[in-house]
Amino acid sequence: MNDSIGQKPFGPLRSYGRLKSRPIKPRQAGLMDSLLPGLALDLSAPLDRETLKPDAAEVWLEIGFGGGEHMAAQAAMHPQALILGAEPFVNGAASAVRHIDERKLDNVRLHHGDARDLIAALPDACLERVFILFPDPWPKARHHKRRLIQPEVLSALARVLKPGGRLRFATDWADYADWTLERILGSGLFDWPAERAADWRVPPADHVTTRYEEKKLGDCAPVFLDFVRRDTARPG
């Protein structure tokens, strides 16, 4: 893989793979034109929680929502929460727009692009929950630098999460689970309240199975790591 493909001149390394696969179906293409503009977040100015949706009791973020089935299901189950979703994969955004339309959701906003740009536009301590579910594993050692879980992303997430806010990370790659635990606990910014193997091996009660999870492409059973943002940073 050519590391320079699709790079912004000084931006972070691309943490995602392909941007498009098969042609978008006409109905989804129509919804992309008609619905997406109203759902899209404007990142040209810093985002303000009040203007996003003043009546939302909570604001959640899903990074790399893929086809959007988890995001849409969570939005339907939690109408009190506004869910922000970021995904650069065109077919994923088109699928998410279809879910939002079919479920008639009014509590989802989308950034069709890199979540790191969305996080940078968010105010401090504005999120109650963040989901990173089955992120691109980049299993080869020379691609590890592309993994989404990097110190700068963790600092940015810690900034936008409220103290006590929760971060859920799931993967079916054993090495990515270890990588993430090491970096998140090493950051001193999060606690990991798990006590027994079932806490990371059994899907959490509020989890909704994702399309990528169903494919079972990894090298282990899914691992669910639920972290809590600390009030103040302490050595890991």
Ligand X SMILES: C[S@@+](CC[C@H](N)C(=O)[O-])C[C@H]1O[C@@H](n2cnc3c(N)ncnc32)[C@H](O)[C@@H]1O
Residue 114 CB, shortest distance to ligand X, in Å, is: 4
Residue 65 CB, shortest distance to ligand X, in Å, is: 6
Q: Which is nearer to ligand X, 134 or 196 (CB)?
A: 134
Tokens of 193: 């309240």
Q: Which is nearer to ligand X, 32 or 188 (CB)?
A: 32
Residue 63 CB, shortest distance to ligand X, in Å, is: 5
x/- string (CB under 6 A) for ligand X, residues 140-179? --------x-------------------------------
CB count within 10 Å of CB 208 equals: 17
Listed ranges 38-46, 61-69, 154-162, 178-186: which one lies at the site for ligand X (CB under 6 A): 61-69
| The length of the chain, given as a count of residues | 236
Listed ranges 32-40, 59-67, 171-179, 218-226: which one lies at the site for ligand X (CB under 6 A): 59-67
Residue 20 CB, shortest distance to ligand X, in Å, is: 10
Q: Which is nearer to ligand X, 10 or 55 (CB)?
A: 10
Q: Which residues are designated catalytic?
A: 136
User: In angstroms, rounded to a whole number, what is the distance separating the alpha carbons of residues 60 and 85?
Assistant: 8
SS (H, E, C) 111-155: ECCCHHHHHHHCCCCCEEEEEEECCCCCCCHHHHHHCCCCHHHHH
- With the CA atoms of 231, 172, 146 and 143 taken in that order, what torsion angle do they form, in degrees rounded to the nearest 10? 140
User: In angstroms, rounded to a whole number, what is the distance separating the alpha carbons of residues 133 and 224?
Assistant: 9
* Number of residues forming the site for ligand X (CB under 6 A): 23
Backbone angles phi, psi at 24, to 5 degrees: -70, 135
Strand, coil or helix: 105: coil
Give the one residue of 41, 56, 59, 63 binding ligand X; rule: CB under 6 A.
63
Closest CA relative to residue 130, chosen from 55, 41, 39, 65 = 65
Tokens of 24: 């978008």
Q: Which is nearer to ligand X, 87 or 128 (CB)?
A: 87
Q: What is the largest CA-CA distance in the chain?
A: 52
Contacts (CB under 6 A) with ligand X, residues 66-125: 66, 86-89, 92, 114-116
Contacts (CB under 6 A) with ligand X, residues 196-235: 210-213
Q: Which is nearer to ligand X, 21 or 231 (CB)?
A: 21
38: Cβ contacts below 8 Å, ≥ 6 apart: none
Residue 198 CB, shortest distance to ligand X, in Å, is: 21
Report the interface residues with ligand X, using CB under 6 A.
15-16, 63-66, 86-89, 92, 114-116, 133-136, 148, 210-213
